[in-house]
Chains A and B, each alone.
Chain A
Amino acid sequence: GESVGLHLPTLSVQEGDNSIINCAYSNSASDYFIWYKQESGKGPQFIIDIRSNMDKRQGQRVTVLLNKTVKHLSLQIAATQPGDSAVYFCAERTLIQGAQKLVFGQGTRLTINP
């Protein structure tokens, strides 16, 4: 069935440290994954995506890793800043009749301590 979940609901790191947020998914047929950031009172904001034919993708200070063998996804944020404090969701995308549908995980709240 459809299920995308996260290992940890909260994570606190010191400013400047690196953080890793994890996600497990259950639909082995999924071929596209996205990480979203949600700040308080705002909608989800796209961070980075990865297709299932890739193991790793890097952006600015962020890296997403995909392990299809164990159906695990992670988001690494380097040199964390106070503005990184937010809830992070992984999402699995499916295409139904040409339209995409996102299945979100539970979310991890990342807190950056000064």
Chain B
Amino acid sequence: EPEVTQTPSHQVTQMGQEVILRCVPISNHLYFYWYRQILGQKVEFLVSFYNNEISEKSEIFDDQFSVERPDGSNFTLKIRSTKLEDSAMYFCASSPHSYNEQFFGPGTRLTVL
């Protein structure tokens, strides 16, 4: 069964450093999403992406964040200058269309020291 994959599973970085979280969505999906989950809290929407453009972003997704689909398979989330409060699980999701179920990856745990 096809699934969303994410790398790395755990990323440790120093405050102020740039990180790139990588995702490979399911191959025939057209819509891509990033969510984050701070430990013990609910999953929060960050951004949705379709046709090489951001469709919607939350207030969390400020100018320190960016997303990119550099090739036909990867979908990345970049945090330019990490802060302590960026420590969280980051989940990538994809869906075939805008009205379909979103399939989530296993997440990347980001730890900012």
Binding site for A on B (CB under 8 A): 4, 31, 33, 35, 41-45, 48-50, 55-56, 91, 93, 95, 98-99, 101-107
CA of A95 to CA of B101, assembled, Å: 13
Among B31, B93, B102, B106, contact of A41 (Cβ-Cβ < 8 Å)? B106
Q: Considering only CB atoms, which chain A residue lies closest to B3 in the complex?
A: A43
Binding site for B on A (CB under 8 A): 34, 36, 38, 41-46, 49, 89, 91, 95-107
Q: Is the CB of B48 within 8 A of A101?
A: yes
CA of A41 to CA of B43, assembled, Å: 13
CA of A42 to CA of B4, assembled, Å: 12
Q: Contacts of A49 on B, CB cut-off 8 Å?
A: 101
CA of A1 to CA of B56, assembled, Å: 17
